[in-house]
Amino acid sequence: MALALCLQVLGSLGGWLSLYISFCYVNKHRSYEWSCRLVTFAHGVLSISLSAYIGFIDGPWPFTYPGSPNTPLQVYVLCVTLGYFVFDLGWCIYFQSEGSLMLAHHILSIWGIILALVLGESGTEVNAVLFGSEITNPLLQIRWFLRETGYYHSFIGDVVDFLFVALFTGVRIGLGAHLLFCEIVSPKPKWFMKAGGIAMYTVSWCFMLSIWRFAWKKSIKKYHAWRSRWSVNQQLKHNGHLKTH
């Protein structure tokens, strides 16, 4: 069983690495980060789809049955995701592209997935955490691509930012708090899985504080820009020309 899990994880790692190399070959005129973020986007879409299917259709329901034995589909998704996180952590360390908070998030994710696979249980809530963690990931990558291509300061960029902040607050912080409560009060999950859940939620709050600061600054900037345009329009409406000093 352990050998089979190791082979699945290695196969996943090889798959993500091969996809990255392919993107680098196709996008020779782009940076390595461009190709890595394409891989991240692909993983985000895949993991969201699979973890949503597990949570909402295949089951069991993570808010009711934390600490349940892993299902074959949960094991498959965890192996695929573990391979990705190992790839991305290695990339981040090699290129020194991320800060300590993101590295801590990756290490906690890897450790939590390994524990769930080794124990053969708690895959239910780990997959739920995966869904909550990744649901904003595609938007984050789209935001980066918009910046790189010069389309961020537009209506599309505003929509992406709004959806990102709303989903992060509602799902990762709101539903995440409920999931963590269910995990803690349930007698089934091991104590170290509960501790890991608390650590992951703490990391989410650290991200959330940074995101709220960004959202506040952008909102103030947008407000001042609107007031400036409104003032100009009022002057043109009443005087037919701009007021000069």
What pLDDT, in 10s, does the model give residues 85-141? 999 999 999 999 888 899 999 999 999 999 999 999 999 999 999 999 999 999 999
For residue 2, the model assigns a pLDDT of 82
Range of the domain at 65: 1-234
Strand, helix or coil for residue 69: strand
User: Which ranges of 71-190 does DSSP label H, i.e. alpha helix?
Assistant: 72-95, 100-119, 123-134, 137-149, 155-167, 176-185
For residue 232, the model assigns a pLDDT of 60
Whether 115 is in a domain gets the answer: yes
For residue 108, the model assigns a pLDDT of 94
Whether 31 is in a domain gets the answer: yes
Whether 138 is in a domain gets the answer: yes
Whether 113 is in a domain gets the answer: yes
Neighbours of 37 (CB within 10 A): 21
Whether 168 is in a domain gets the answer: yes
Whether 243 is in a domain gets the answer: no
In this prediction, the residues of the chain whose per-residue pLDDT falls under 70 are 223-245
Radius of gyration of the chain (CA): 22
Tokens coding 192 = 């170290």
Whether 245 is in a domain gets the answer: no
Number of folded domains in the chain? 1
Whether 241 is in a domain gets the answer: no
